[in-house]
Amino acid sequence: MTMLSQPVAGDEPRNPLFDLAFQAFRNPSVLIGGTIVAAIIIMALAAPLLGTVDPVRIDPGMRLKPPSDLAWMGTDLFGRDVYSRIVYGARSSLLVGLSVAAVAISLGVLVGLVAGYFRAMDIIVMRVMDGLMAIPTFLLAIALVSLTRASIGTVIVALTIPEIPRVVRLVRSVVLTVREESYVEAAISVGTPAPLILVRHILPSTIAPLLVLGTYICAQAILIEAGLSFLGTGLPPEIPSWGNMISEGRTFFQVTPRLVFLPSLFLALTVLGINLLGDGLRDTLDPRIAKRM
């Protein structure tokens, strides 16, 4: 790290963001995690090109077939191709994980900036957040899903709500520190309007910790979605998702454990990749981030 930050003679001053990215990719966690995540994303995007068949096509003549040339990961209870379902399942998991992270962060930033900057709002907002955080995430999510007909949208909303307080707390803690900095005081003293101060002078400081928190939320959301689907209260059964596959597979677990283990493997690998990426980013971007989470 010291080597990188020392200016080399004759070197043009480089973009600090570029430096940071360069540093991040030298971290083994970022490298391994990033590679896993990139592979899963490519798999999800290129699903139709990867030798898959229709993941929802039911073939009663092919029920519970072991791996063969026709279906190299075998078929499930309804004769559907396990390999194709796993590849398409990556789409559901990533869609849920990324959407939850994006929505929770957007809403959390908005609330957090306001709560941190305007003292009057702070007490009320933080009490509400404390209350929300006291409800176990998983229970709040299943209760929310159970209220409506299950769809990918309702699952995303249900997983987002319990994650918002974490974002709010993080953003608020950054705002509380940064607003005492002299450059913010300077901006206030020249009469910069509050929204502009928030966006131009305070928001940038939240980006690095939010990037890290975002990876954790994404991983958490993927795990909870799988858990919900496993309990039969998550994504509708017709959507190929790893949680749904595990849930359907558990009936025949003693006979064909691979129906549980194969999707589980991809699920765990994806979450592992995202967590590694998050840990690595946390360590390279800013060591102080760990204290806030």
Give the interface with other proteins as residue ranges (CB under 8 A). 127-128, 130-132, 134-140, 142-144, 146-148, 219, 223, 226-227, 230-233, 246, 250, 253-254, 257, 260-261, 264, 267-269, 271-272, 275-276, 279, 290
For residue 12 the two structure tokens come to: 């043009």
Least distance in angstroms from the C-beta of 20 to other proteins: 22
Nearer to other proteins, 32 or 53 (CB): 32
Cβ neighbourhood burial of 185 (10 Å; 0-12, 13-18, 19+) = exposed
Q: Which residue intervals of 46-136 are DSSP H helices?
A: 82-117, 119-134
Nearer to other proteins, 56 or 140 (CB): 140
Of 50, 73, 71, nearest to 61 (Cα)? 71
3-state secondary structure of 81: strand
**Residue among 58 and 268 whose Cβ is closer to other proteins:** 268
To the nearest whole angstrom, how small is the minimum distance from the Cβ of residue 30 to other proteins? 13
Query: Of 112, 110, 118, 102, nearest to 217 (Cα)?
Result: 102
Residue type, position 115, single letter: A
Shortest Å, Cβ 182 to other proteins: 29
What is the three-class DSSP state of 75?
strand
Q: Which is nearer to other proteins, 118 or 253 (CB)?
A: 253
Burial 273-284 (b: 16+ CB within 10 A, else e): bbbbbbbbbbbb
Shortest gap between Cβ of 168 and other proteins (angstroms)? 14
For residue 276, the minimal CB distance to other proteins (Å) is 6
Nearer to other proteins, 106 or 151 (CB): 151
